[in-house]
Amino acid sequence: MLQRIREKSQGIIAYTLVGVIALTFALWGVQSLVGAMGNDGSTMAKVEGTSITRPDVERRAQEMLRQVLSNNDQVSPEDINQDMLRQFALNELIQKAVVRHSADQLDMRVSDALVERMIVQNPAFADDQGRFDAELFKQRLRQQGLTPVAYRQQLHEQLLAQQLIGGVAASEFVLPEEAAATQALVTQTRDYQYAVLSAKALADKIELSDQDLDTYYQAHLDRYMAPEHIQVQYVVLDPQDFADDINVTDDQYQQAYERYREQMSKTEQRSAAHILLTFDSPAEREKQMSRLETMRKQLASGEADFADLAQQYSEDPATADKGGELGVIQPGSLDDQFETALDQLKKVGDISPVVETPYGLHLIELTGLNAKPVPPLSDVKSQLRQQIIQQPLKAKMSDRIETLKNLSFSRDQLTQVADEMNLKLSESPILVKGQLTGFWAEDKVAAALFSKEITEDHWISEPVSLKDGRYVAFQSEEYQPRQQQALSEVKDDVRKQLLKERVADQNWARAEQMLDALEQGKQPSLSWQSVDNAARGRSEAPAAVNQQAFKLTLDAQDVARVHLSDGDVALVKLNAVHRPKVSPDSDGVSNFQQALIRRQMQQQQQMMLSQLRQQADVEMSNGAGQP
Amino acid sequence: MADLRSEEEQLEAFKHWWQSNGKSLIAGITIAVAGIGGWKAWETYNTQRAEAASALYQQLTTVIQQPASDQRNKEANALVEKLTGEYDGSIYADYADLFAARIAVEQKDYAAATGYLRHALKHSQVDTIQLVARLRLARVLKAQAKPDEALALLNGVETGSFEAEYDALKGDLLVATGKEEEARAAYNKALTASREQGQSDPTLQMKIDNLGSQGDA
């Protein structure tokens, strides 16, 4: 009895446990238990406790990549910064999670019925009459790799996000007064004058000492660097060079030609007709065999027609009606015995002996032969020669490569190698790293050129294979690492640069003196040019002058100087501002209203999103910020 | 010791315990079950209410996207009334107020617009919505030539991500009240804030550049 109570009480504990688990499920759903299992270390961010994992981000980044690539033909995957893409993806996923969380917090709900209505009303899923088509719906989803359940969930989330964020945009307005004020501001025109101080004459008066040049050179050393470059001697091993030495005998030609003819014959097409008789027993086989023999004799003597016989007697229901015609026989498509027999028929109308296949006994007639004429040997001789010498050429080439390899390893100078192998020794142009052309630009060659063995150790390179089948080996003649250019080499460049800067500086200082003079009420000799009714971004004056004019005040003392090209400087002075009177009721205002509202809607959405994000608990994992 | 007691005694002890505690145990379980049931029912009720409001709101957004017409405005206002009347305090009701304000502005009924916006400002539980409503209210007040009232509404508000828009509007209002230097400071703050947000508003720079030119035009 005690034993039983103990068993029972264990039962009670078990029941209680099950009860607790069931209650947990009922109240908080499966998520509560799964979520409690913790995180596997791949979390990149947490939004209100929900993890965004590395695989999530990776998946989204790949989706984005596919979108970008499918929209831009010219873009290749290498052009796209993957890290940046991952940042975008992470950001988007965080944004989505924030919106989801906020919508939930704000008690926003979207019913299944609403989701269903959106699906049914979506024109993408409608048939010709505009009615929802369930098949089309499934098909469209399949194209996107989505299940209906996943799509509904996506749509549900989208609708919530639209309600939350879209509401702020869709309720935005622009008052006509606001649009009118903006229009007045944007379409304002101004009258101003400007005077250009040319830098041209200044250059002649500037004296640059060697000391000046040296100072400038020392201050800009990184501008005067010679790139890494090399010049080499090289030999090229070209298989074509000894292809001519290989002899081809007439016998070899003959054999190759036979093979060639055989190949050609394989491309011919044969059509056939047949008469099939089947049997169930050896006795019946004998009987059918003799029937076919009889038919064969009748056909040979011309008493009967193959098609007629096939129609009357053939037990192949698929072809009997068509006079036994099987059409063009693709090699390998029928039974071996059948095809062998067919191949032995030489001309149209020939009839085979009785052939046995697993289907039964056949008589076969060749009904069509479409063969291309085989060109004579003389026409294909050079083509055959290429084939014949391929093997010996390869063997000879690999011998030569082996020799070159050994020699380039054992000799000190490439000259010796060239002599011993009777190869032509050439000299390369100066090869600049990063600006290689021709076969020097091939990856393998470029890597070998600037390797330590070549540049420092002065070794002969191993033979490097080129894309066109040739081999090259080289040895450095002269090598320069990336290095500082001496002032003497670049003196002219330095002088030009420094002069340009000095001129610009002097001119700028001259402009300041002018400004001071103007301020003191003097009239320095300047040739002022007037511009009337200049609009923003549109005037006959240089762009920098016009921009400056729209920053000036009407204060008579307010004169500004701006940099132009080539060291020139302009002085600008504002004369008048023309502010158009724009009434909120005027016609043009509504255009401005349209443009403004679009921008404001977008801005408000952005601000709302960042406000929600600020308020949500968003945690970035270490390293998620800079992948 | 338990094993010295007879089974009779154990049964007796259990009966005794049951008589004194049984009722409260059953009552406790009943209350717990009723509580859970009630809570679930309350949740269901709330979800259904939210879904109903959501459906009305969805309808409203569809209606509002149609070109302005009396018919559209009538339909929209009916939906707004229903949302603000039956679902007051929900975010859907807040949005209904904002939509109603938009329609009122389109009809140049600024008084009605301020009414809706004030309602949203007062009743919304969501500070983002309050920030939006407050900003729009101040803009309508400006159009009604009440810059001082508008400025009072904007001052001393924790603006969060809406800082740039708030400061830009303050700048406009200060210009309207003739305080150019204060306006310049407000515009510059707006410019900095909008750059921090990665936005660029070309008119903001124009407004700053334009400040000095007001004088003797």
- End position of a domain, from candidates B123, B144, B165: B144
Render pLDDT for A405-416 as a digit per residue (tens, 0 to 9): 999 889 999 999
Together in a domain, B51 and B120? yes
In a mutagenesis test of the B interface, which of A5, A107, A159 is the best target, namely the one with the most B β-carbons within 10 Å? A107
d(CA A273, CA A369): 12
Interface of A with B in 87-106 (CB under 8 A): 106
Chain B environment of A181 (Cβ under 8 Å)? 172
Which element (helix H / strand E) includes A370? strand A360-370
Domain count, chain B: 2
The 3-state secondary structure of A213-272 reads: HHHHHHHCHHHCEECCEEEEEEEEECHHHHHCCCCCCHHHHHHHHHHHHHHHHHCCEEEE
Q: What domains can you pick out in chain A, each with its CATH number? A: 3-174+588-620 (1.10.4030.10), 189-224+487-578 (no CATH), 226-243+389-484 (3.10.50), 268-370 (3.10.50.40)
What type of residue sits at position A329? Answer: I
In a mutagenesis test of the A interface, which of B161, B169, B194, B201 is the best target, namely the one with the most A β-carbons within 10 Å? B161
Render pLDDT for B9-26 as a digit per residue (tens, 0 to 9): 888 888 888 888 888 888
Q: Is the pLDDT of residue A11 over 70?
A: no
Render pLDDT for B89-113 as a digit per residue (tens, 0 to 9): 889 999 999 999 999 999 999 999 9
Q: Is the pLDDT of residue A70 over 80?
A: no
Together in a domain, B136 and B206? no
- Helix, strand, coil percentages (3-state) for chain A, rounded to 5, are 55, 15, 30
On the CB side of B193, CA atoms within 13 Å amount to: 20
> Percent of chain A having pLDDT more than 70?
91
Which of A20-24, A289-293, A370-374 holds the top average pLDDT? A289-293
> What CATH code is carried by the domain that includes residue B163?
1.20.58
Chain B environment of A178 (Cβ under 8 Å)? 139, 143
Quick one: CA dihedral B19, B21, B24, B26, positive or negative? negative
Structural tokens at position A616: 């949500």
Q: Which residue of B has its CA nearest to A112?
A: B51
Quick one: CA dihedral B55, B57, B59, B61, positive or negative? negative
A610 with B197: Cβ contact below 8 A: yes
Interaxial angle between packed helices B202-210 and B163-176, expressed in degrees from 0 to 180 and rounded to the nearest 10: 30
On the CB side of B115, CA atoms within 13 Å amount to: 8
DSSP string, A386-448: HHHHHHHHHHHHHHHHHHHHHHHHH-S-HHHHHHHHT---EE---EETT---GGGGSHHHHHH
- End position of a domain, from candidates B144, B176, B196: B144
Together in a domain, B11 and B41? yes
Per the CB < 8 A criterion, the answer to whether A309 and A250 are in contact is: no
pLDDT at B216: 39
A91–chain B nearest CA distance, Å: 15
Whole-number average pLDDT of chain B: 88
Burial class, A322, CB count within 10 angstroms (exposed 0-12 / middle 13-18 / buried 19+): middle
In the structure, what pLDDT confidence band is assigned to residue B3 with cuts at 50, 70 and 90?
A: low
Render pLDDT for B124-136 as a digit per residue (tens, 0 to 9): 888 899 999 999 9
Average pLDDT over residues A292-307: 88
Together in a domain, B109 and B191? no
Per the CB < 8 A criterion, the answer to whether A428 and A474 are in contact is: yes
Q: Is the pLDDT of residue A513 over 50?
A: yes
Beta bridge partners of A475: A233, A460
What backbone phi and psi angles, to 5 degrees, belong to B49? Answer: -60, -45
Together in a domain, B19 and B117? yes
Per the CB < 8 A criterion, the answer to whether A461 and A448 are in contact is: yes
B132–chain A nearest CA distance, Å: 8
Render pLDDT for A435-480 as a digit per residue (tens, 0 to 9): 898 999 888 899 899 999 999 888 999 999 998 889 999 999 999 8
On the CB side of A530, CA atoms within 13 Å amount to: 5
pLDDT at B214: 53
pLDDT at A17: 55
Which residues touch B128 (CB under 8 Å, ≥6 apart)? A168, A608, A611, A612, A615, B160
Neighbours of B196 (CB within 10 A): 11
B105 with A175: Cβ contact below 8 A: yes
A81-85, A149-153, A554-558, B197-201: least confident range = B197-201
Burial class, A511, CB count within 10 angstroms (exposed 0-12 / middle 13-18 / buried 19+): buried
Which residues touch A220 (CB under 8 Å, ≥6 apart)? A497
A231–chain B nearest CA distance, Å: 51
Q: Is the pLDDT of residue A3 over 70?
A: no
What backbone phi and psi angles, to 5 degrees, belong to A12? Answer: -65, -40
B136 with A1: Cβ contact below 8 A: no
Neighbours of A34 (CB within 10 A): 8
Which element (helix H / strand E) includes A552? none
pLDDT at A38: 46
A32-36, A186-190, A562-566, B147-151: least confident range = A32-36
Closest CA to A501 of A194, A193, A223: A223
Average pLDDT over residues A588-592: 83
Which element (helix H / strand E) includes A185? helix A176-186
Q: Which residue of B has its CA nearest to A103?
A: B91
In a mutagenesis test of the A interface, which of B56, B201, B209 is the best target, namely the one with the most A β-carbons within 10 Å? B209
Q: Is the pLDDT of residue A394 over 90?
A: no
pLDDT at A571: 93
CA distances from A183 to A233, A586, B42 (A): 72, 11, 54
> What CATH code is carried by the domain that includes residue B89?
1.25.40
More confidently predicted of A608 and A129: A608
Give the position of tokens 């036979």. Answer: A258
Neighbours of A386 (CB within 10 A): 10
B64 with A163: Cβ contact below 8 A: no
What type of residue sits at position A267? Answer: T
Q: Is the pLDDT of residue A219 over 60?
A: yes
Together in a domain, B158 and B136? no
pLDDT at A561: 92
On the CB side of A594, CA atoms within 13 Å amount to: 4
Angle, CA of A529, A534 and A538, to the nearest 5°: 110
Q: Does B167 touch chain A (CB under 8 A)?
A: no
Together in a domain, B100 and B37? yes
- End position of a domain, from candidates B127, B144, B161: B144
pLDDT at A380: 84
Structural tokens at position A192: 């101003």
Together in a domain, B140 and B159? no
B165 with A111: Cβ contact below 8 A: no
Quick one: CA dihedral B106, B109, B115, B121, positive or negative? positive
Q: Does B205 touch chain A (CB under 8 A)?
A: no
Helix (H, G, I), strand (E, B) or coil at A304: coil
pLDDT at A31: 47
A265-274, A484-493, B182-191: least confident range = A265-274
pLDDT at A200: 84
More confidently predicted of A355 and A4: A355
Which element (helix H / strand E) includes A567? none
Together in a domain, B11 and B111? yes
In the structure, what pLDDT confidence band is assigned to residue B45 with cuts at 50, 70 and 90?
A: confident
CA distances from A375 to A253, A257, A270, A378, B76 (A): 14, 10, 20, 8, 86
Helix (H, G, I), strand (E, B) or coil at B124: coil
Quick one: CA dihedral A54, A60, A66, A72, positive or negative? negative
A510–chain B nearest CA distance, Å: 26
Instruction: With 0.80 as the threshold, say if the pTM is over it.
Output: no
Together in a domain, B190 and B98? no
Interaxial angle between packed helices A589-615 and B127-143, expressed in degrees from 0 to 180 and rounded to the nearest 10: 150
- Helix, strand, coil percentages (3-state) for chain B, rounded to 5, are 85, 0, 15
pLDDT at A36: 45
Q: Does A29 touch chain B (CB under 8 A)?
A: no
> What domain range is B188 assigned to?
153-217
Together in a domain, B112 and B41? yes
In the structure, what pLDDT confidence band is assigned to residue B6 with cuts at 50, 70 and 90?
A: confident
Q: Does B119 touch chain A (CB under 8 A)?
A: no
Q: Does B51 touch chain A (CB under 8 A)?
A: yes
Structural tokens at position A536: 């923003």
Together in a domain, B177 and B129? no
d(CA A61, CA A80): 11
